[in-house]
Every structure is written in C-alpha cells, then in structure tokens.
Amino acid sequence: MAITFTYLKIPKINPLRWLKYANNTRDDFFTNEISDYEQPEKYSQKFCHYDPITAQVQILTSKVTAYTMQLVDTYGNVVATAAASVMYNDTTSGYTYIHFSMITPVVTGCYFAKLTFTVSDILTSKYEIYYSEPLQIAATHPGTIIIDYSHDENDYGFIFQKSLLGLEYSGLAVVSPSTLYRIRVEGGMWMNDKNTGTSDDIYIDDSHNSRLLNSIPYNIYTWTIGNARGIPQWLMDKIVRVFSCAFVKINGTYYTKNDGAAFDIQTTERYTMRSATIETLLRENTYTDDYVGAVSKIPVGIGHWTIGFNFRVS
C-alpha cells in the first residue's frame, strides 16, 4: 500500500488557478466542470506581452527535490521558463516558500503555465504536474483592467513582506510596495460610476439650529468586474480575495474598498459566468488635480477647434 503525504500547498490568492494533471486527464478544468444542464462556456485568462506571470507555492517536505514553472503551448512545447527563488525556508516546520516569475513573451495564442515537482522517496521518484487554466496571450486585450496587489503582512497563505521576517528583499517594503502579483481581467468603470460623497460633522442645538463643523469630500469609484459575457466563478473568487489586501492598484492607481462595501455579484440561472461591481475609494484622498509634464508651445494659426457636437472654441 502506497504511503501518501501532503507535499504541497498552492494559495488561492495566486493570480493563476492551478489544476493537478493526473492519469493523463484534465477533467477539472473550468470548461469541463460545467454540468450538462448549464450553458457550455470556455474561458482563457488574459495576458498581454510583457505582463508578469507569477506564482507562489508552499513546499511542505524535503521529499520535493526539484521544481520548475514553464509556459507551454497547446502541444506541450516549452516557450518560456520562469525564474524560481526561495522566499523563505522555515527550518522549524520544514516549509519552503517558492516564488516563480516570468515575463510573458511576445507570442500570440493559447498557452498554459505548467508547474512540475519532483517528489522523491527512498525507492521511487515521480513527477507531480499542475497546469493553469488556459492563458490567452496577445499584444493587447481591449476591455480589460490590470489589478496589481500586495499586502502589509504575510497572510492568506502568502509571503508578501519578506522584511517582516527580518530578511532583506529589495523593492518590497511595507510602506510603499513594489507589487509582485497581477491579474488582468475583463472590466472597467462607466462614466456614471464615479460619484462624490462627504463625511460631515454637523452640530444641531435644542432649537434645531445647525452648524457644519467639518466636512470631508471624497470620490467613490464603482468598478465593474467582468464584461457582458462575464467571468468564471474561480476568477471572481480570486478578485474578491485580492480586495482583502492592503495594497490594490487598478490601472496604476491605488484604491481601497469603500467602508462596508461588498461585491455585488450578478448571475443568470443555468449560466456559469458572472460579473460584479465593487465600490472603492482612492487610497489617498486628495483635494487637487496634480499634473506633471513639459510645457509645450501652443501652435499658432489654429483658428478654431471643433469639440463634440456643434460646439466650437475659437
């Protein structure tokens, strides 16, 4: 009888969903999970050229003697190999945290990320293989947003801050993190989804005379995750988990969930895809619009500009 043991943990907050490849089958891929009475669907996670592809895993035993992450095409050919680094080795528990990272190459089409672990025992050695859901790589993916994330402590099964372990790690500071993990997903913000609120302190006396003591205006930004077609539940699960992090950057700007906000997830009966909205605030509330750039000479002889519909500026 074979002795079984847990040798690996893959945190759910990873950017990719990982599926174990066993007995030459991939039956647990999203498209294969959909039941017969639901609408069939397929989904590929979006990556543009030069997007980072990253993963973090916990190796629980010294029986894992080797590990690699590769990008492979639909025929299994390797097109890129990730760099692997030990983020932390806990000598007490025996846990080793491994970070994999590669830059998406300039290729176009459907690919898979592949994790391979060599697990050795006294008499045997075998490969344990995991595949990501399919990745759709292209030069651009219109209608998508970039969500970068990090955290101010090590949590969710992840090491975000090696500095908290008393170790040096260039570029990942608690105060101003260089984000290591990224998800690109269908979504955006409608023009009507930017609103303004105020936090007010108002004094009202016994005669109901009122005085405004203090007022802080702020903007509320409602992001939509998923397009009209929607995204799979497994990806929505990751997005919700990502917004539990202290540092969430959307298209280059830091946001935080609004106080009391929760994901409003929309689903359709017998259709497995979904979309959601979430209210956010700017991480740093500002009172000015700041502009950075060189001053250019205004060209002469413009005459007039036409803006929009029948509106002229001379």
Q: Indicate the domain borders of the chain.
A: 8-141, 144-314
Q: What is the CA radius of gyration of the chain?
A: 24
Provide the whole-model pTM: 0.84
Q: Which two tokens stand for residue 151?
A: 């955290």
pLDDT, tens digit (0-9, with 9 covering 90-100), for 88-108: 887 777 789 999 999 999 999
| Structure tokens that stand for 237 in this block | 């699960």
Q: Which residues pair with 86 in a beta bridge?
A: 98
CB 68 within 8 A of CB 127: no
pLDDT number for residue 113: 97
Torsion angle defined by CA atoms of residues 32, 35, 38 and 44, in that order, rounded to the nearest 10 degrees: -20
Token pair listed for 270: 């017998």
Which residues in the chain show pLDDT less than 70?
A: 1-5, 23-27, 162-179, 294-314
One of 2.60.60.20, 1.10.3720.10, 2.60.40.1930, 3.40.640.10 is the CATH number of 8-141, namely: 2.60.40.1930
pLDDT tens-digit readout, 251-290: 999 999 999 999 999 999 889 999 999 999 999 898 998 8
Rounded CA separation 247/8 (Å) = 27
Contact 185, 234 (CB under 8 A): no
- Please give the pLDDT value at position 174: 40
Q: What is the pLDDT of residue 131?
A: 95
Complete DSSP assignment for the chain: -------EE--TTSSS-EEEEBTTB-TTSHHHHS-TTS------EEEETT-EEEEEEEE--TTEEEEEEEEEETT--EEEE-EEEEEEE-TTT--EEEEEEEEPPS--EEEEEEEEEEEE-SS-EEEEEEEESPEEEES--TTEEEEEEE-SSS-TT----GGGGT---TTB-SSSB---EEEEEEEE--GGGEEEEEEEEEEE-TT--EEEEEEEEEEEEEEEES-SS-B-HHHHHHHHHHTTSSEEEETTEEEEEPTT---EEEEETTEEEEEEEEEEEESS--SS--------PPPS----EEETTTEEE-
3-class secondary structure for 40-96? Answer: CCCCCEEEECCCEEEEEEEECCCCEEEEEEEEEECCCCEEEECEEEEEEECCCCCCE
Q: How far, in Å, CA of 245 to CA of 157, rounded?
A: 12
